[in-house]
Chains A and B, each alone.
Chain A
């Protein structure tokens, strides 16, 4: 079955420290991978994607993610966290199902950045 796993419900990090939010996936064929962020009472905002090419992709607000095919992972990273990065983060994979593509999301990881 095609799925996304985010093993941490919450990640706590001090402002200025690096952060990592983990994601692993299971999908048939080549994956299209995405990270979205959700602020309270807001919709999902696109952060970055991996479609093909370089395994390290850079996105909005200084975030980056590394595609690792052997480990089927797509961890989200940022070198220096900001308090304003505190939000809910979702990893998603675009999966082929029944001949059509659709995004399958993980359960989400809440990032809390402390001053």
Chain B
């Protein structure tokens, strides 16, 4: 696609529920990144995919968070047993050989845990 697409744009869920956030990167981009942005803060790195594999998942806060990219394109960020502290905007970005080192970000998914 022309840009990075994230769905849903907004998600409200109850504490303890499971959620999935989807990212559709720019076509042909092999690198995909997930970030989390809490109110008043800068984006915080969560995980990086190169192709289908998670090359660096050092930013995932705990084992309730998991992400997959099974075919090297669309990625899903999965959060189990959500907590109110998980409320944030989750941003996805992609980059490729033609990006000039620039990440292109999606508009994000605003997750609210009530």
Which residues of A come within 8 Å of B, CB atoms?
Answer: 4, 6, 32, 34, 36, 41-46, 49, 51, 90, 94, 97-98, 100, 102-108
Other than A32-B101, A51-B100, A106-B42, give 16 A-B pairs with Cβ distance below 8 A. Answer: A6-B42, A36-B105, A41-B107, A43-B106, A44-B105, A45-B105, A49-B101, A90-B42, A100-B50, A100-B56, A102-B45, A103-B103, A105-B42, A108-B40, A108-B41, A108-B42
Residues from chain B with a CB closer than 8 A to the CB of A90 are 42-43
Partner of B33, one of A43, A46, A97, A102: A102
A43 contacts B107, C-beta separation under 8 Å: yes
Contact (A105, B43) CB under 8 Å given A43-B106, A44-B91, A49-B102? yes
Residues from chain B with a CB closer than 8 A to the CB of A104 are 45
Residues from chain B with a CB closer than 8 A to the CB of A108 are 40-42
Interface residues on B, range: 20 to 34
Residue B27 interfacial (CB < 8 Å): no
CA distance A97 to B48 in the complex (A): 12
The 3 closest A-B pairs by CB, nearest first: A105-B42, A43-B105, A44-B105
Partner of A51, one of B40, B55, B101: B101
Q: How far is the CB of B45 from chain A (nearest CB, A)?
A: 5
